[in-house]
Amino acid sequence: MKLICVIGVGYVGLVTGACFADLGNKVTALDIDEKRIENLKKGILPIYEPGLEELVRRNVKAGRLSFTTSYAEAVKGAEFAFIAVGTPSGVKGEADLQYVESAAKSIAQNMTSPLVIINKSTVPVGTGDWVADIVKRAQPKPMGFSVVSCPEFLREGSAIGDFMQPHRTVLGSTDKDAANKVAQLHLALRAPIVITDLRTAEMIKYASNAFLATKISFINEIADICEALGADVKEVAAGMGYDTRIGRHFLDAGLGWGGSCFPKDVLALAYMAEEKGLDPRILNTVMGVNYERRKTAVEHVKSLLGGSLKGKTIGMLGLAFKPNTDDMRDAPSIDIASELNAAGATVRGYDPVSMDVARRIVTAVEMFNDPYEMANGCDALMVVTEWNEFKQLDLEKLKGLLKSPVIFDGRNIYDPAVMKGMGFTYRGVGRGY
């Protein structure tokens, strides 16, 4: 059993804390958001993540997981401090490190014994050295510490499984002893452990996310070509995916990527490159292709409705940036809703989980608690998020409720032949029109 503190109790921090507690460690999880901690103490989670509530409850009950807003309490006696605070985009596309800086200072001011500080937040290359410098300067009196980069690769929606069965653990440090200690902490996960230097570890995270984003933008471009040439991108992706050099993952054509990671990480990597005088052409194109998807989706709905959206009512099935999460950060639904609004349409929305978050973010969307209620009287529906429950909708019932049976399936969850056979005016993405 190790004494661990986790700084930042969001998607990554809460999962990290609960999982390390479940592996038998004693974890204190800290956040500066008092309401968040107050709720967690009552068993109310700040985010939706499958299985997390039960995992937190079990470990709190076992006395292995506790929550606090006090750095003194969290850091006291800890052997490991994980930084898992947000690193959102700054005004120029750079990663905003203010939360990391503040966390590092607070750790330094409150540590009572030698500590390994582990950075789980996605941070620009060079941040580990910067954090070490901040800690050194903020300590009231010199005390031993090391900084290790341990980027997180979990995905929202399958975060616990991803944390517990990672494809690899990446550790970077100039202090090999510290890296080995952190490696020991991860041994129970039985994944390959890559130990490297700080900067390389930080870069592995950015390069991984940028590659995955590239894969999605690539298949989206292929989807457009498929459409023009009469091929079906779903079958193209399946056919490509059998090749182990390519793999089937991240080859789903649709509305493109969003969320809290890919957008800001690709942007931050491009920014880092540009700062060094490089021209990151692939990254810039990957972003351009991605954000075009949202606009062209609205164009497709417009053309399905005869060329105008003025006065039309469009229902969005799904609002979260992907299924199994309530995360709305840079969700395609946000841009799609504002494009539809700008074209004169009334926009409705339904999501199985993210309604509360969505209400705060997409205020011009009329929210419904049921997909059929939402569909009632709509001129068209758009599948925006591929929640499983949308695959099981009663399509006959839906057709009867719609003013006109028009569906733009932005996630290719339905079979075009079946939809057309049922009398829908249907369009998916890249499916040979």
Taking a C-beta distance cutoff of 8 angstroms, is the pair 159, 185 a contact?
no
13 binds ligand NAD (CB under 6 A): yes
Nearer to ligand NAD, 98 or 308 (CB): 98
154 binds ligand NAD (CB under 6 A): yes
Strands across the sheet containing 313-317: 365-367, 346-350, 313-317, 380-383, 406-409, 425-427
Nearer to ligand NAD, 9 or 384 (CB): 9
Residue nearest to ligand NAD (CB): 10
Q: How far is the CB of 120 from ligand NAD (least distance, A)?
A: 6
Q: How far is the CB of 203 from ligand NAD (least distance, A)?
A: 14
Query: Binders of ligand NAD: how many residues, by CB under 6 A?
Result: 27
Residues in CB range of 381: below 8 A, 6 or more apart: 314, 315, 316, 317, 375, 398, 402, 406, 407, 408
CA-angle at 222, arms to 320 and 268, nearest 5°: 55
- Give the binding range for ligand NAD (CB under 6 A) out of 31-39, 180-188, 345-353, 380-388: 31-39
87 binds ligand NAD (CB under 6 A): yes
39 binds ligand NAD (CB under 6 A): no
Gap between the Cα atoms of 346 and 219, Å rounded:
31
For residue 191, the tally of other CB atoms under 10 A from its CB is 15
Residues in CB range of 14: below 8 A, 6 or more apart: 6, 29, 40, 45, 46, 47, 49, 52, 56
94 binds ligand NAD (CB under 6 A): no
134 binds ligand NAD (CB under 6 A): no
149 binds ligand NAD (CB under 6 A): no
Gap between the Cα atoms of 413 and 387, Å rounded:
9
Range 232-261, binding ligand NAD (CB under 6 A): 260-261
Taking a C-beta distance cutoff of 8 angstroms, is the pair 321, 329 a contact?
yes
Active site residue 378: no
Residue 267: what residue type?
Answer: L
330 binds ligand NAD (CB under 6 A): no
- Give the binding range for ligand NAD (CB under 6 A) out of 27-35, 131-139, 181-189, 289-297: 27-35
Q: How far is the CB of 104 from ligand NAD (least distance, A)?
A: 9
- Give the binding range for ligand NAD (CB under 6 A) out of 50-58, 79-87, 340-348, 357-365: 79-87
Q: How far is the CB of 76 from ligand NAD (least distance, A)?
A: 16
Q: CA dist 331 to 223, 303, 334, Å? A: 20, 23, 6
Q: How far is the CB of 172 from ligand NAD (least distance, A)?
A: 15
Catalytic residue among 150, 226, 261, 378: 261
CA-angle at 371, arms to 367 and 375, nearest 5°: 85
- Give the binding range for ligand NAD (CB under 6 A) out of 10-18, 340-348, 405-413, 424-432: 10-18
Among residues 245, 259, 339, the alpha carbon closest in space to that of 293 is found at 339
Range 205-224, binding ligand NAD (CB under 6 A): none
157 binds ligand NAD (CB under 6 A): no
Strands across the sheet containing 145-149: 65-68, 26-30, 3-7, 80-83, 115-119, 145-149, 169-172, 193-196
Q: How far is the CB of 196 from ligand NAD (least distance, A)?
A: 18
Residues in CB range of 85: below 8 A, 6 or more apart: 7, 8, 10, 13, 99, 100, 102, 103, 121
122 binds ligand NAD (CB under 6 A): yes
Residue 220 tokens, joined = 């989206």
**Site string (100-119) toward ligand NAD, x via CB under 6 A:** --xx----------------
- Give the binding range for ligand NAD (CB under 6 A) out of 7-15, 131-139, 277-285, 398-406: 7-15
- For the residues of 258-269, what is the DSSP string, one character each? -SSSHHHHHHHH
Residue numbers annotated as active site: 261
List contacts with ligand NAD (CB under 6 A): 7-13, 30-33, 36, 84-87, 99, 102-103, 120-122, 152, 154, 156, 260-261
